Amino acid sequence: MRIAILGFGSVGQGIARAILAKNLNITVTGLADSRSGVIDAGGIDLAAALARKGNGDPCGTPGVSPADVVAKADYDVLVEVTPTNVETAEPALGHIRGALRRHKHVVTSNKGPIALAYPELRSLAEANGVVLKYEATVCGAIPLIHAIKEGLAGNAISRLYGVFNGTCNYILTRMAAEGLTYEQALAEARELGYAEADPTYDVEGIDAAIKLVILANTILNMQTTLDDVERTGITLLTPDALRLAEDQDCTIRLIGEIVPKAGVLRVSPRIVGKAHPLVVEGTLNAVTVETDLAGDLTFIGKGAGSMETASAVIGDLLYIHDRYVQGS
């Protein structure tokens, strides 16, 4: 199977490393980062591309754009792993549309296009006889979308809730364990690379809210936007609040919650009993799904990280490979 990769940051490089390390029957024929690109129908030397990135160089030839790769490379699946833009979803949205129109399957880790334009993209994929997969957009390594769509097919989901953001979970874990203030815990998360220089997207609950919108729209048949999510972040939490929770054998976690029947989408800090399965430590994610046939299921795993996100992308790629793509 031939793929083109757009985005050669941590996720793109993680995918390249996994392809090099495992015999996955995948050839990369197109590759682009924000500054350069390379198209080679015979297969790109990924080790060399990784080495160039490691030296701080572009991965390919300056002047070759992601749009060129989308339009000209010879591939079965476009892998779109550029950074998320939640306002317009561009330029990823354009890349995905372009590939679908060329009858190419698409796998993405990019939340923007899925949160903002899923119905359109799904119709476009169907009209062109290809599939669009996006497992890596929600909870990194946890195969949540596949588990709900395939493993729990036939179940009615009455509630879905959990810890969707590892950065917030890390901050709350540290505040509870060490009595740190929010500012101290955030500074620590930044030093360790868990939080961005501008942490707004994580700590205000925007990232978790986008994941709720993706789950609501793509697997729960709801039609929602980011504005429909009632959202409270963790910036105002105090060490005292965590201690008061602790006194009752509880703690505080930022919980994203969907109640489909009631139309509830909500991200807010909540008091959770310490023995609850959702009380995971550090940067882990955890999601409980309440179903009618299977009962309650809780999924726990790493929500971010280059290899963890690559795991979700590769899962989608091999799904497509096994069902839709002939030959190698």
Partner 1 sequence: MKLEMKDRPGQLVAALQPISAVGGNIIVVIHQRETSTAAETLDVQIVLELPEGRLPSLLELLREQGVSVVRIGEERLLYECTLIVIGHLMHTDLSDTVDRIDRTGSAEVTGLSLAMPAINSPSSARITIRSTTRTEMKKAIGILRGVAEQKELLIIEPLEGA
Q: Is 255 in the site for partner 1 (CB under 8 A)?
A: yes
The residue (of 37 and 269) whose beta carbon lies closer to partner 1 is: 269
Cα distances (angstroms) measured from residue 88 to each of 114, 151, 209, 212: 11, 33, 16, 18
Query: Smallest gap, in angstroms, from Cβ of residue 191 to partner 1?
Result: 25
Which residues are part of a known binding site for NADPH? 111
Could you give the CA distance from residue 11 to residue 234 in angstroms, rounded to a whole number?
27
In 124-150, which positions are buried (b, 16+ CB within 10 angstroms) versus exposed (e)?
bbeeeebbbbbbbbbbbbbbbbbbbee
Q: Per the structure block, which two tokens stand in for 301?
A: 């795993």
Q: Is 245 in the site for partner 1 (CB under 8 A)?
A: yes
Q: Is 147 in the site for partner 1 (CB under 8 A)?
A: no
The residue (of 143 and 162) whose beta carbon lies closer to partner 1 is: 162
Query: Smallest gap, in angstroms, from Cβ of residue 253 to partner 1?
Result: 8
The residue (of 10 and 268) whose beta carbon lies closer to partner 1 is: 268
CA 72 from chain center: how many Å? Answer: 27
Residue 22 annotated as catalytic: no
Q: Is 277 in the site for partner 1 (CB under 8 A)?
A: no
Q: Is 71 in the site for partner 1 (CB under 8 A)?
A: no
Which residues are part of a known binding site for NADP(+)? 7-12
Residue among 211, 261, 274, 302 flagged as catalytic = 211
Q: Of 84, 81, 85, 132, nearest to 109 (Cα)?
A: 81
Strand, coil or helix: 105:
strand
Stretch that binds partner 1, among 82-90, 221-229, 259-267, 314-322 (CB under 8 A): 259-267
Spatial contact of 242 and 251, defined as CB atoms under 8 Å apart: yes
Q: Is 238 in the site for partner 1 (CB under 8 A)?
A: yes
For 179-183, which contacts have Cβ atoms below 8 Å and span 24 or more sequence positions? Answer: 179/239, 179/242, 179/243, 180/239, 181/238, 181/239, 182/234, 182/235, 182/236, 182/237, 182/238
Q: Is 241 in the site for partner 1 (CB under 8 A)?
A: yes
The residue (of 149 and 274) whose beta carbon lies closer to partner 1 is: 274
Which residues are part of a known binding site? 7-12, 111, 196
Q: Is 294 in the site for partner 1 (CB under 8 A)?
A: no
Backbone angles phi, psi at 108, to 5 degrees: -135, 155
Q: Is 272 in the site for partner 1 (CB under 8 A)?
A: yes
Query: Smallest gap, in angstroms, from Cβ of residue 290 to partner 1?
Result: 12
Query: Smallest gap, in angstroms, from Cβ of residue 243 to partner 1?
Result: 7
Q: In whole angstroms, how large is the CA radius of gyration of the chain?
A: 20
Cα distances (angstroms) measured from residue 267 to each of 100, 213, 221, 237, 308: 33, 11, 19, 14, 24
The footprint of partner 1 (CB under 8 A) covers 161, 232, 236-238, 240-241, 243-245, 247-248, 250, 252-253, 255, 257, 259, 264, 266, 268-273, 276, 278
Residues marked as catalytic: 211
